Amino acid sequence: MSKTKTICTVCNYIYDEALGEPRLQISPALKFEDLPDEWPCPECGSAKDMFQPCSCVSLPTYEQTCAVHQQDTNPNNTLAATAEAISKTTSVGQLVAQRPLRACVLEQYGIDYCCGGKATLEEACRKKGLEVEEVLEKLLAADRKGVQSGDTDWTTASLKELIDHIVSTYHQPVRQELSRVAQLAEKVARVHGDNHPEMVEVLNIFNRFKAQLELHMQKEEMVLFPGIASMEATGTPQIFGCGGGIEHPIDVMNQEHDEAGEALCAMRRLTHDYTPPDDACSSFKVLLSSLAQIESEMHQHVHKENNILFPRALELRNPALISR
Ligand SMILES: [Fe+2]
Ligand SMILES: [Fe+2]
């Protein structure tokens, strides 16, 4: 049976050929290409040409943040087990490091858990004017859903495994996505720039963001990540650049993450939270949807580096901790 998946780039609905679409009496094994040309997205009604193969950057996001896994049959037990792990004084970065599905809740509330990951839950809620008790309750509900999801615990996996995961899950897909979205942004700015000058500004910000992110990932893959893997494998501190320790390249990477976060915030602000205007064509909508996907991927990507990989790599500087 085919397992090809195709995603609606407007609303993220996924047509899975292995499942068909029972709500519309579409049986499993019917290929997406064999659906009628006029077939609309069952969730948002978008035309068939708004779909694209799930090899794109959006699938990992969809599966990690939106797929609901098996419900726990005894939620009270789960609640008791996780209540201890969630505290108002735990940093939001640590909350997501413990359980990745919590990222979905924090994103709903607009809480930054990657670059702003050092803030406690209480501080992050206060900054956003949110009731911390309400957010805590949602986090516990997410824990109940995700308790049997089998997420990898990146706080205990080897750093080499975490690096391989970051490169294959975030670096490689986002490179392809950046090139595709750059062409789309150029087209939207050219066609709609007169009526929507903000899209010309979005194009300029995106092009700078793309160039800086490509260079940033190259530095991680060629210098920092091999250095971390070598420190883990040999137990020997590495010398970077002009003779400094690992904290120097990590400082630079953290700073570049902040700059990428600022560019994403600027594009979100200019597009009113990626909301298509009334006169938006299909390309305009796809561009906004794609930018939102890139932002969501970047939050997870940067979170895993800032809050898990880098702090664990810095621990390797202490020889007493290297062999544990
Ligand atoms: Fe990275
Ligand atoms: Fe990075």
The pLDDT tens digits of the residues spanning 132-152 come to: 988 888 888 777 665 545 568
Ligand 2: distance of its center to the CA of 60 in Å? 18
Take residue 212 and report the two structure tokens written for it: 């800086």
Which has more confidence, 38 or 255?
A: 255
Number of domains the chain is built from? 3
Ligand 2: distance of its center to the CA of 179 in Å? 18
Ligand 2: distance of its center to the CA of 253 in Å? 6
| DSSP helix, strand, coil percent of the chain (3-state; round to 5) | 60, 5, 35
pLDDT greater than 80 at residue 321: no
Ligand 2: distance of its center to the CA of 30 in Å? 40
Asked if 186 and 272 sit in the same domain, the reply is yes
Asked if 96 and 20 sit in the same domain, the reply is no
Which has more confidence, 50 or 201?
A: 201
- Given pLDDT bands bounded at 50, 70 and 90, which one contains residue 12? low
Q: How far apart are CA 129 and CA 124, in angstroms?
A: 9
Ligand 1: distance of its center to the CA of 323 in Å? 26
Ligand 1: distance of its center to the CA of 316 in Å? 19
Asked if 186 and 317 sit in the same domain, the reply is yes
Ligand 2: distance of its center to the CA of 302 in Å? 6
Asked if 45 and 106 sit in the same domain, the reply is no
pLDDT at site 258: 94
**Of 24-38, 80-94, 102-116, the least confident:** 80-94
Half-sphere exposure of residue 233: CA atoms within 13 angstroms, side-chain side:
8
- Alpha-carbon separation of residue 115 from 89, 92, 146, 190, 294 (angstroms): 17, 10, 24, 33, 15
Query: Which ligand number lies closest to the CA of residue 163?
Result: 1
Take residue 174 and report the two structure tokens written for it: 């986002």
**CB 65 within 8 Å of CB 104:** yes
Checking phi first, is residue 260 left (phi over 0); if not, alpha (psi -120 to 50) or beta?
Answer: alpha
- Residues 14-30: what's their mean pLDDT? 78
Taking the alpha carbons at both ends of the chain, their separation in whole angstroms is: 45
Name the most confidently modeled range: 62-71, 72-81, 144-153, 297-306.
297-306
Ligand 2: distance of its center to the CA of 255 in Å? 9
Domain that holds residue 124: 75-146
Query: Which ligand number lies closest to the CA of residue 171?
Result: 1
CATH number for the domain harbouring residue 30: 2.20.28.10
Asked if 187 and 277 sit in the same domain, the reply is yes
Q: Considering Cα of 221, then 225, then 226, then 229, what sign does the dihedral take?
A: negative
Ligand 1: distance of its center to the CA of 58 in Å? 17
**CB 198 within 8 Å of CB 271:** yes
User: Does 291 reside within a domain?
Assistant: yes
Ligand 1: distance of its center to the CA of 118 in Å? 18
User: Does 132 reside within a domain?
Assistant: yes
Query: Which ligand number lies closest to the CA of residue 167?
Result: 1
Residue 8 DSSP code? E
- Given pLDDT bands bounded at 50, 70 and 90, which one contains residue 165? very high
Asked if 137 and 169 sit in the same domain, the reply is no
Count CB neighbours of 70 within 10 A. 11
**CB 248 within 8 Å of CB 313:** no
pLDDT in tens, 269-297: 999 999 999 999 888 999 999 999 999 99
Q: How far apart are CA 101 and CA 69, in angstroms?
A: 10
Residue 33 DSSP code? G
Residues flanking ion ligand 2, Cβ below 5 Å: 305
